[in-house]
Structure 1
């Protein structure tokens, strides 16, 4: 009863969710995005209105904006477009660690308040952005970035970002995909327990635990009323009563930041329910794997996306970690009821993962709600149960063998399917390298972990030597810049910086340890 009262009171304090630009500007937003006035759909979503919405919409109704030139002129007269800071000049003199350390100030932002009408969400403390078109703080990106910040001696920034994430929980009851109003309808892979765990301030444990419990409430909303076979938003209860989670989005219209891409895809896909398809696209964005063959009905074509029909192994491994983390924190706070509740939930989830997310061929995989069976596809997500520590030793060893097929000359591939989507073969991504390396190390697969880490570092180092840049993703088959997806390859780049810096700090090097990479100037 007391818990329910506290939650009810907390709910009163949650801020009203601000409308997104698409919701506020309706036909104007649709016309600008569908007209392709700006090459990147995110540009107009991030624009700031020069006057109030009603005045702009009234002016638009009077506007004779029949062609792209007139429409763009109207936008420029009524909105301030976002400016992406120029990328730092390529460095040829600094070593890779020193270059990363020099990037942190260039990627650090402060935004204690935002202009009226902006889609940006304010944050009380400093934060680090990924870079390029990504001008705001992102959820799961940030944990990998923060790993590097700690190694670089920037615990001050780490503590600031923890406060920022807590402020989002306090205001909105969730961590949005990113700090924009159009991201508030969805979250991202729940790394808050790991983000909060980076704090070195023991006095904030109670507060951080409260944030983690609020995050868990968000993901589990509706679970209490589910019967076997039932589904609600992000939670599903399987026929045997197992409670697991899936990705979802509270909206079912085109994403503001990819409006044109979503609308065109749905229009070109007759026979599918448009609202359901929009939600599946949005849920794919919540997964962080936007997009991947994991979510595609035919395993190849984006038009067959069905993200909400998949129970992902990585998501459920992370929520297991969240539940275990809350139980441990409550134990430290001497809250026995809380400890018991979340420890029981974690044990039940571990059992459900072992039962439903294990492929008899010998690896962890997603569960298909419609087929009522585990998927066959091998993806880098199979490393998450190892990372979370919920795998039995024999299953960890078997999964490690299955993971071998995904290793390229330049690191761990995302999947074995080349669809042209950015979370598929031949791309490799920094976060998945870290998850696999740490998961393998946890189960004493040290040689395999070293092979992935050193190949990845060799790929990053090769590109840095060639261009002076760190990139969002890489082709780990050919050891080249990555490709695919809805937007051009970005450099900066938050999580690549963080994972690279953290792997180097663990003693991994680009050539397996024979060359000593030192801080400071590169020796020639």
Structure 2
């Protein structure tokens, strides 16, 4: 049941508001009549007199916008030397270091000393910087505890509190506490956080849900979008837009009303659609591409075309393996990071060569499905708020996107969703990203059935849902499985009448996570689910990370939804 709290009284009576809402169901998002009828039946409308009034968004005072220079911008040739000479094994380590002295003085000292006999770069860095990339803690897992207990115990370990820091650190301070993924990822990450929040809600940590959503709203208000993470070097890009899903989670769990974040949802949409009005067919600007028929769809993008601060040496090496201009390769690497699928064969011209990456050339099915969801949410919340004009406008956006997705991203010969190569004007990769249209309610019943059969035939394994059909060596490909895709697949299948398959996928995934936990007393970022043995996932630019926020969140939620499988 969806519970909506309706404010009665002037200028509308309760009866008028109810009529507006029920009328708007038909216009808010394209859908099927049987679902609209059921939605009408399930609606419980509570007047203001019998419900707690939703508070207005808190105004966070005294929280300055941070200095936004990235370490590469601040330290120039010093940064380049440290990264290319591999002072640290992981490029992210230096990007996350905090200076012990004035940065300009450090740079001047480096320029003065670097050519002197006996100069040691490693010692120079150690004398001038504090290493903060991976903070040590005293937590030791107890193998005797159940998986549920282990996850509940981990939330405090993965929680970061606001604190004073160096004004020249790459870390962007946030006003409230937040959960980090774990391992080398000691900051908040945008799309990771939604999946962590699923488990936080189940663990009774509504306080952290409130705080994290308020942090993201604060980032939108102060930086114009939610960055990849709260680091200065992440400000030039975002990640899959899941803020609307966070808001919906609040509504579903009865934690907080959705109207609270309407302005930020609209601002996020503005960010993704920036420049759309000025485009001609077959032109692109930032995240938006205008197709030959005038349709608008979106791609992943990063405003910078330089090596990533956190993967500087790796990006330089990758670009050297391409005949394209290095700036183009860097942009596509950055856009691939914005996708959250960093990296996958779906972005590569040659599935086995990262240097062939072309992320900005593709219109991803998952991104456009999530933006459809965002448009639907804005339309719906605006209708509840009595703003018919905004509701109608975003309803129209959603309708147009829906039509464009069906035209360009649905493969009518194979009956499956695919990404679309807008430069070559042809369909591209088929991956587990096809679960997202089901998860957000975009697919028709027929499309949903086709997707379910394709998943069952191609990607369902003994341990869960494989990410793609290619074993490319990249981490977002076979044989790896990731918690976010399992969650969206299970929920999407259930929404389209495939509850049996959804339950079976949940059983397989929970068994994978539980068996690995019993062997190693930990949860990890990704799992290798091909073969008879449960193993940690491999591939990618960095070693496997423990923790792990979104694995914890999805697993905790699924344990509650499917009791008796584990614990």
- Sort the TM-score into its range (normalised by shorter chain): over 0.9
Cα separation, 2, equivalents of 1:370 and 1:53: 43
For residue 299 of structure 1, report the CA deviation from its aligned partner: 2.3
Q: Does structure 1 residue 24 correspond to structure 2 residue 77?
A: no
Compare CA radii of gyration and give the structure with the larger one: 2
Kindly indicate whether the alpha-carbon contact (under 8 Å) linking 1:450 and 1:508 is maintained by their aligned counterparts in 2: no
Tell me, what secondary structure is at the counterpart of 1:231?
strand
Match of 2:4?
none
Return 363-372 or 198-207, whichever deviates more.
198-207
Match of 1:277?
329
Q: Does structure 1 residue 434 correspond to structure 2 residue 487?
A: yes
Cα separation, 1, equivalents of 2:285 and 2:200: 38
Kindly indicate whether the alpha-carbon contact (under 8 Å) linking 1:14 and 1:172 is maintained by their aligned counterparts in 2: no
1:322-333 matched pairs, under 5 angstroms: 322-333=374-385
Match of 1:34?
84
Match of 2:367?
315
1:251-270 matched pairs, under 5 angstroms: 251-269=304-322
Kindly indicate whether the alpha-carbon contact (under 8 Å) linking 1:162 and 1:199 is maintained by their aligned counterparts in 2: no
Kindly indicate whether the alpha-carbon contact (under 8 Å) linking 1:16 and 1:172 is maintained by their aligned counterparts in 2: no
Kindly indicate whether the alpha-carbon contact (under 8 Å) linking 2:66 and 2:167 is maintained by their aligned counterparts in 1: no
Q: When the two structures are superposed, what TM-score results if normalisation uses the length of structure 2?
A: 0.85
Match of 1:5?
none
Give the alignment partner of residue 494 of structure 1, picking from 539, 549, 553.
Answer: 549
Kindly indicate whether the alpha-carbon contact (under 8 Å) linking 2:147 and 2:514 is maintained by their aligned counterparts in 1: yes
Match of 2:53?
none
Give the alignment partner of residue 464 of structure 2, picking from 400, 411, 436.
Answer: 411
Cα separation, 1, equivalents of 2:165 and 2:117: 32
Match of 1:345?
397
For residue 268 of structure 1, report the CA deviation from its aligned partner: 2.9
Match of 2:449?
397
Tell me, what secondary structure is at the counterpart of 1:92?
coil
Cα separation, 2, equivalents of 1:14 and 1:348: 39
Kindly indicate whether the alpha-carbon contact (under 8 Å) linking 2:141 and 2:150 is maintained by their aligned counterparts in 1: no
Return 218-227 or 444-453, whichever deviates more.
444-453
1:307–1:48 distance in 2 versus 1, CA, 3 Å: same
For residue 408 of structure 1, report the CA deviation from its aligned partner: 1.4
Tell me, what secondary structure is at the counterpart of 1:288?
coil
Match of 2:34?
none
What are the superposed Cα offsets for residues 298-335 of structure 1, whole Å, 9 maximum, x if unpaired?
22210100000000000000000000000011011100
Query: Where do 5+ consecutive residues of structure 1 fail to align?
Result: 1-12, 511-515, 518-524
Q: Does structure 1 residue 52 correspond to structure 2 residue 102?
A: yes
Cα separation, 1, equivalents of 2:496 and 2:437: 11
Match of 2:345?
293
Cα separation, 2, equivalents of 1:126 and 1:482: 30
Match of 2:292?
239
Cα separation, 1, equivalents of 2:119 and 2:369: 50
Aligned residues: 498
Cα separation, 1, equivalents of 2:115 and 2:100: 19
For residue 167 of structure 1, report the CA deviation from its aligned partner: 0.8
CA RMSD, 1 decimal = 1.8
1:87–1:483 distance in 2 versus 1, CA, 3 Å: farther
Return 57-66 or 253-262, whichever deviates more.
57-66
For residue 88 of structure 1, report the CA deviation from its aligned partner: 3.0
For residue 84 of structure 1, report the CA deviation from its aligned partner: 2.2
For residue 371 of structure 1, report the CA deviation from its aligned partner: 2.0
Q: Does structure 1 residue 198 correspond to structure 2 residue 246?
A: no
Kindly indicate whether the alpha-carbon contact (under 8 Å) linking 2:65 and 2:222 is maintained by their aligned counterparts in 1: yes
Give the alignment partner of residue 155 of structure 1, picking from 200, 206, 224.
Answer: 206
Match of 1:43?
93
1:17–1:438 distance in 2 versus 1, CA, 3 Å: farther
Q: When the two structures are superposed, what TM-score results if normalisation uses the length of structure 1?
A: 0.92
Cα separation, 1, equivalents of 2:278 and 2:347: 27
Query: Where do 5+ consecutive residues of structure 2 fail to align?
Result: 1-62
Kindly indicate whether the alpha-carbon contact (under 8 Å) linking 2:365 and 2:419 is maintained by their aligned counterparts in 1: yes
Cα separation, 2, equivalents of 1:69 and 1:434: 52
1:331–1:366 distance in 2 versus 1, CA, 3 Å: same
